[in-house]
A = this chain, B = another copy of it.
Amino acid sequence: MRLAELSARSGVSTATIKYYLREGLLPPGRRVNATQSSYDEGHLRKLRLVRAMVQVGRMPVATVREVLRTVDDESLDHHTRLGVAVSALPHGAGEPPATDPATEEAARRVADELLAGMGWSPVHEEGTELPAYRMLVAALTRLAGFGYPWDVEHLAPYARLARQLAVTDLDHVERYGSPEEQMEAAVALTVLYEPVLLGLRRLADVMESHRRFTGAPGATEG
């Protein structure tokens, strides 16, 4: 297919595709004449993955390039290739809390104990921390800073629910066919379902609070 069709089928503008080509995030097409190239289904799949990482996941181009090197490394197993993209996602909206080294160290111990209790440790590969782990430690530090509970007993029910969320997430990802499509879906759905989940939780909080404190079956009055 020509560039225009690649753009139409991916929903990515031709200017953005040309930028990805220049940056080496997308392999060049097959040259058909001096000014035109031809692209195939492989380009389309790769383009959707790049878009998921750059536009949805907001990964820096250098990180995307690094992830793509792993994705294309056929000596690696499926999990490593799938997990690397999700693991590389920057850790969202959480601005760093006011740094107090002692509190952060304590938060790190609580996080480690929590994850060990879930059978999730060690979560660190090759001496680097996962962005999701730093996100958790920052959130605990912030809870501590404001004086709210952040002990393992309070946190464990959330970790157990997170495990159920992950089962749902991966069920969705496995509906996609190729490893590249699964990777694209894993990145995109990890990020795009975050506000869905937070919105639903807040609605559920309002409903549950109504149920408990008024004895009503669940709905507020219209």
Contact = CB atoms under 8 A, between A and B. Distances in A.
Interface of A: 11, 51-52, 55-56, 77-79, 82-83, 86-87, 89, 91-94, 115, 118-125, 130-133, 135-136, 138-140, 142-143, 146-149, 154-155, 157-159, 161-170, 172-174, 185-186, 188-190, 192-210, 212-214, 217-222
Contact of A82 (B86, B135, B213): B213
Given A132-B203, A202-B132, A79 B158 contact: no
A121 B196 contact: no
Contacts of A192: 139, 142-143, 146, 148
Contact of A87 (B91, B123, B149, B206): B206
A209 to B, nearest CB: 5
Given A77-B214, A93-B195, A220-B125, A202 B135 contact: yes
9 contacts: A78-B214, A79-B214, A119-B217, A120-B207, A123-B219, A136-B196, A143-B196, A165-B204, A170-B212
A161 B170 contact: no
A83 B169 contact: no
B213 A78 contact: yes
